[in-house]
Chain A
Amino acid sequence: MHLTKEEERLLAGEGGEALRKAMEILLTLGEMNNAERLIPITSAQVSGVSYKTIGDAGLEFLRDMAESGAKVKVLTTLNPAGAPVEAAHELGFPEEFIRKQREILRAYESMGILVSCTCTPYYVGNLPRFGEHIAWAESSSVIYANSVIGARTNRESAISALAAALVGKVPEYGLHLSENRQGSFRVEIKTKLESSTDYAALGYYVGRNYKGIPVFAGASPQGEDLKALGAALATGAISMFHFAGATPEYREEKLEKIEVGEEELREAWEELNTCEEPDIVTIGCPHASLKEVLAVAKLNPRREVWIFTSRQVKELAERYIKNENIKIIADTCMVVAPLEELGIKCIGVNSAKAAFYSANLSKISVRFDSIENLLREE
Chain B
Amino acid sequence: MRIKVRKISAGIAEGEAVVTREAITFLGGVDAKWGVVVERGHELEGRSIAGKILVLPHTKGSTVGSYVIYQMKKLGTAPLAIIAVKADEMLATGAIISGIPLVDSPSEDVLSIPQGAKLRVNADEGYVEVKD
Contacts and interface: CB of A to CB of B under 8 A. Distances in A.
Interface string A24-63: 1100110010000000000000001000011111101100
A253 B66 CA distance: 40
A373 B96 CA distance: 49
Contacts of A24: 9-10, 96
Contacts, number: 60
B37 interface: no
Contacts of A157: 63, 66, 89-90, 93
B83 interface: no
Contacts of B92: 25, 28-29, 32
Say whether chain B's binding surface is mostly helix, strand, loop, or mixed: helix
B8 A159 contact: no
B88 to A, nearest CB: 9
B96 A21 contact: yes
A52 to B, nearest CB: 10
A329 B110 CA distance: 52
Interface in A67-108: none
Given A24-B9, A29-B92, A160-B89, 17 more contacts: A24-B96, A28-B9, A28-B96, A32-B8, A32-B89, A53-B64, A55-B67, A56-B71, A57-B32, A57-B68, A57-B70, A57-B71, A60-B67, A60-B71, A60-B74, A61-B67, A157-B93
A24 B101 CA distance: 13
15 contacts: A25-B92, A28-B92, A29-B92, A32-B8, A48-B67, A54-B64, A55-B67, A57-B64, A58-B67, A60-B67, A60-B74, A157-B90, A159-B63, A159-B93, A159-B97
B96 A54 contact: no
Interface residues of B, number: 20
Contact of B70 (A25, A48, A60, A160): A60
A57 B70 CA distance: 7
B67 A57 contact: yes
Contacts of B96: 21, 24-25, 28
B63 A61 contact: no
A32 B68 CA distance: 22
Interface string B80-91: 000000010110
Nearest to A48: B64
